[in-house]
Structure 1
Amino acid sequence: MPLFFLVPLFAGLVTGYFSKKCTDEIAYFTGLFTIISLILSLILAPWQIQLVLLVLLIVGSNRLLQE
């Protein structure tokens, strides 16, 4: 399983950390880059990881709807 989808994920997590530390306008740009890189890493992820995330999403949403 190729792990190249971890590159945008790691970059997104690092920029997300820096956006929490900044209070200027650059924080908005780093937040936008974080969201884009996280979506890109989900698109590039292997189908097995996407399937696990989908199952977790369905189970989590069912628990929230029951409450």
Structure 2
Amino acid sequence: MALFFLVPLCTALITGYFVKQSTDEIAYIAGVFGFICFILSLVLAPWQIQLLLLIVVLLGTNRLLSKQ
């Protein structure tokens, strides 16, 4: 399994950390960049990880909807 999808994911996590620490306007630009990197890492992730995330989202959604 290729792990090159971890590069944008780590970039997104580091950017998110800097956004939390800063209150400047550059933090908003960095936040957008981090969000794009996060989406890119999900697109580049292997199908096994994408399937696992899909199952987690579906189970989480069912549990949240059944509580109401």
The two structures have a TM-score, normalised by structure 1, of: 0.98
Structure 2 counterparts to residues 34-49 of structure 1, below 5 A: 34-49=34-49
User: What corresponds to 2:21 in structure 1?
Assistant: 21
Give the share of equivalent positions with the same residue, in percent. Answer: 63
The two structures have a TM-score, normalised by structure 2, of: 0.97
User: What corresponds to 1:33 in structure 2?
Assistant: 33
Structure 2 counterparts to residues 42-57 of structure 1, below 5 A: 42-57=42-57
**Which blocks of at least 5 consecutive residues in structure 1 are unaligned?**
none
Provide the rounded CA distance (Å) in 1 between the counterparts of 2:34 and 2:3. 19
**Which blocks of at least 5 consecutive residues in structure 2 are unaligned?**
none
CA RMSD of aligned residues (A): 0.4
Q: Count residues in correspondence.
A: 67
Shift of 1:44: 0.0
